[in-house]
Every structure is written in structure tokens, then in C-alpha cells.
Amino acid sequence: KRKLIEDARARGEKPTPVVLDKQIMGRERSEAALRAVEAVEAAGGTAHYHAVNLMDGDAVAAVVEDIRSRYGKIDVLLHAGGLLIDR
């Protein structure tokens, strides 16, 4: 948390508790996703993590198209979308 505060101040921003909490939660979610990808790979599989706003249909379509153009198909899609309620 201290590092986030220092970084924000270095950019000339005044960090608020709400902003800091969002940043911390985002990092925690990213770390959890990375651990899941690593677990799949440790078991011999292949996994990729893509973050996208599920409320933005164009962004979702772009991610799906990117995956299909790279790999040809999607074998499994794990949807971990949720609702973030701001305080």
C-alpha cells in the first residue's frame, strides 16, 4: 500500500482510500489469475489470462478474435467476471 501511495504522489496525484482499495483488489485478482494459469501449466496444460470489461461487447469480441487468430480455436473458456461495487 505504501508503494502505491508513493507512486501516486510521484505522479502528482493524491491517493484516496477508494482508489487504493481498487488498485489493491485489482492486483490481488491478477495474482490469483496468474496462480491459476501456473497451476494449469504445471499440470501439463496451456492457459492464457485476458482481462476485459464484460460490459463492453466490442472489447470482448476483440479478445475472442485475437485468441482465435492466434490459436485457431478455444477449447475451454473460464469466465470469472464479477460485479465490483464501489464504496
Quick one: which H or E segment has residue 1? none
Cα 53 from Cα 60, distance rounded (Å): 7
Q: Where are the domains of the chain?
A: 1-45, 50-82
Output the pTM of the full model: 0.60
Using one digit for the tens of pLDDT, what is the confidence trace for 37-86? Answer: 999 999 999 898 888 888 899 999 999 999 999 999 888 888 777 655 55
Using one digit for the tens of pLDDT, what is the confidence trace for 10-51? Answer: 999 988 888 888 888 888 888 888 898 999 999 999 898 888
Q: Are 10 and 20 in contact (CB under 8 A)?
A: no
